[in-house]
A and B are shown apart, each in its own frame.
Chain A
Amino acid sequence: MSKAPSLREKLSILADAAKYDASCASSGGTRRDSRDGKGIGSSTGNGICHSYTPDGRCVSLLKILLTNFCVYDCAYCINRKSSNVRRARFTEQEVVDLTLAFYRRNYIEGLFLSSGIIQSADYTMERLVRVARLLREGHQFRGYIHLKTIPEASPALIEEAGRLADRLSINLELPTEDGLRRFAPEKDGATIESAMGRMSGAITAAAAEPRGPRFAPAGQSTQVIVGADGSDDATILGRSAGLYGTHRLKRVYYSAFSPIPESSQALPSRAPPLAREHRLYQADWLMRYYGFGSGEILAGAADGMLDLAIDPKLAWALRHRERFPVDVNHAEREMLLRIPGLGVRSVDRLIAARRHRSLRLADLARLAGSERRLRPFVVTADHRPTALLDRADLRSIVAPPRQLALFA
């Protein structure tokens, strides 16, 4: 047995143990500050990334586990019972002190606290809630708090967690029941779903009653590991669409399965390409902001997988050339949103602008940042693509050649 880790060592161990959780968002909390001079902190409603890790991921919250001891044995997790990783446990007060010390120096927006399961679900959940209570009530902390929820914990504890935290989350991790059975045998899909359902009900009820007690005003999120089991992208997106619909999740995070030290024999030894994770996020975005149905994004694609080389909106357009070109001076917003290279903001500004001017290609270039990609798909006052849409090599004309360099 190695000697007990110092507080500073615990920080390293328990941050390392928490880093496989992709969520770091600090957005969506109620607007508040500490101008009354009593406490510390604020939330602007928009998240802030205070730094970025060397893989370009946002560092917004102090993301740690209370402990990486765990009685479960989930195959994909570095903290599972059978792993040889070094273990540590923070006291609740230590987490509070670290959070405040980092917060005062403007390193973070707040705390994202999760934990391995020790003793029982309720015992663990109670500890997490206690940290949030110490921060909120003891120190009048008004920064962001995201608590991981343990599905088996008692409803009373989850209710208190919701009252104290901005966001709650339960990670699904595996997109199918079968994956869950194989890799997280102690977890139960039905329990997770019903806990999500209860939280969703409480979030909606609290939002409808602005003067009543609050409940996770920034909503709930979840994470799905990509590439650990055999699920294809169509399955994953279908699952996400279900979660957005049924439980009104704020976000589904996709985390490319990452090789971990001490990993289980049951898992693949290689990571799926990070490009896959990126394409899933883009497809997710299309469902949430561009009016795409989950089935639509991959309709007509051969193998249920997103194209890694081009973004899903462009891939959709190339498969649906009969819907183009679109006349930007007359088309409905819904169709404008389908034009590759035109984002939501550009579309809204385009609609405002065309009330006053008839738009030309140069106008479009200013609205969208570039018109090279748009050209084959649009009609403007001075431009009509000539049979470009029929060309077999259209893909190579519009696909940016260097796009994959980001994932090299």
Chain B
Amino acid sequence: MRRVVLAVPDEFAPFRQAARGLLAEAVPPHAIAWSEGEPDLFAGASAAPTSGGVGDRVGPAPDGPCAPPVAVPARFLPLAEEVIRHRAPERFALLYEALWRITQGERALLQVASDPLVHRLERMRRAVSHDAHRMTAFLRFREAGPNRFVAWYEPAHRVLRQVAPFFTGRFAAMHWAILTPDASLAWDGSAACFGPGVSRDAAPCEDALETWWQDYYRATFNPARANETALRRHIPRRFWRNLPEAETVPELLSQAGRRTAAMTSEKLRPVIKN
């Protein structure tokens, strides 16, 4: 059994390096035990964010940089880069199995979406991509000073690097930090700096504008359409505690019936005849 420890659990480059070596030696998937090592991810790390995360900073790999490159179909790379950010420990083994089958003659494997392995990888990729999208949607900045903003967010997967370009592109002229339990990202208007995870109390606990946002949220809701099931489908429970507007939901839902009844019974109106 070969043991492979990946110190950087959410980047593709170290995995790729390890996989190249193993493929060069023709080590079959069942003979490898993959695991995550101590994350010394942020030792002096400061890099411009790339959506790919395939920087030069590469963790230790079992076989040095001399392992020959392996030709894989173009679509493997974007798939693997996202799957790597999934928290499931089996992600390395699944990706290696796909590589193994591709190099053993199944060149078109990734086009067969109905294959159980491809299906599983695709589902993991989608979970990561959905999680990243939700982070761009549900993250809320709080003002921490003039033109300074801080956000606390708890992503389901390790998607901070994936969403970094979104935030640096959108809020380039602001100074801000995004704090999560496993990593953080600070932007000073020109450079992005990744750092270690922090705890929740490192973030500001309020912003005066949140009550205005709650007012808006209340006003834009039509009580005649109340539908709690649909709301919960779109915003699962775990997001609620970090969304300022969520506080108003119980009150809005409990009053919806009464408000609708008041609108429809103000006066008895005849139904129009055509």
Grouping DSSP codes into helix (H, G, I), strand (E, B) and loop, the A interface class, with mixed when no group exceeds half, is loop
Q: Is the CB of A41 within 8 A of B212?
A: no
Binary per-residue interface labels of chain A (261-299) against chain B in the complex, 1 for a CB within 8 Å, 0 otherwise:
111011111110010000000000000000000000000
* Cβ contacts under 8 Å, B151 to chain A: 106
* Cβ contacts under 8 Å, B133 to chain A: 48
Q: How many residues of A contact B (CB 8 A)?
A: 73
The stretch from A10-18, A165-173, A301-309 touching chain B is A10-18
The stretch from B52-60, B80-88, B194-202, B223-231 touching chain A is B223-231
* Cβ contacts under 8 Å, B267 to chain A: 265
Within 8 A of A (CB), among B22-57: none
From B137, B212, B226, A8 is in contact (CB under 8 Å) with B212
* Cβ contacts under 8 Å, A405 to chain B: 229
* Cβ contacts under 8 Å, A38 to chain B: 173
The stretch from A53-61, A154-162, A313-321, A330-338 touching chain B is A53-61
Q: Is the CB of A55 within 8 A of B225?
A: yes
A259 to B252, CA, bound (A): 17
Q: Is the CB of A261 within 8 A of B266?
A: yes
With contacts A105-B209, A106-B141 taken as known, whether A51 is within 8 angstroms of B172 at the C-beta atoms is no
From A37, A55, A349, B227 is in contact (CB under 8 Å) with A55
A30 to B262, CA, bound (A): 44
* Cβ contacts under 8 Å, B64 to chain A: none
* Cβ contacts under 8 Å, A48 to chain B: 133, 136-137
From B222, B228, B264, A19 is in contact (CB under 8 Å) with B222
With contacts A259-B263, A263-B269 taken as known, whether A357 is within 8 angstroms of B220 at the C-beta atoms is no
* Cβ contacts under 8 Å, B145 to chain A: none
Q: Is the CB of B253 closer than 8 A to any CB of chain A?
A: yes
With contacts A11-B212, A34-B170, A107-B140 taken as known, whether A349 is within 8 angstroms of B113 at the C-beta atoms is yes
Binary per-residue interface labels of chain A (98-113) against chain B in the complex, 1 for a CB within 8 Å, 0 otherwise:
1001101111000000
Chain B residue at minimum C-beta to C-beta distance from A42: B170
Q: Is the CB of A35 closer than 8 A to any CB of chain B?
A: yes
Within 8 A of A (CB), among B221-258: 221-222, 224-231, 233-235, 243, 245, 249, 252-253, 256
* Cβ contacts under 8 Å, B142 to chain A: 105
Chain A residue at minimum C-beta to C-beta distance from B250: A54
With contacts A34-B169, A268-B271, A274-B225 taken as known, whether A56 is within 8 angstroms of B230 at the C-beta atoms is yes
Q: Is the CB of B215 closer than 8 A to any CB of chain A?
A: yes
Q: Is the CB of B216 closer than 8 A to any CB of chain A?
A: yes
Within 8 A of B (CB), among A55-89: 55-59, 62-63
22 A-B pairs, CB-CB below 8 angstroms? A8-B212, A11-B216, A13-B219, A15-B219, A33-B170, A34-B171, A34-B172, A38-B173, A51-B138, A59-B220, A63-B220, A98-B212, A105-B142, A105-B149, A105-B213, A230-B272, A256-B225, A259-B224, A262-B266, A266-B272, A274-B227, A406-B229
Q: Which residues of B contact A (CB under 8 A)?
A: 108, 111-116, 119, 133, 136-143, 149, 151, 166, 168-174, 189-190, 207, 209, 212-213, 215-222, 224-231, 233-235, 243, 245, 249, 252-253, 256, 260, 262-264, 266-272, 274
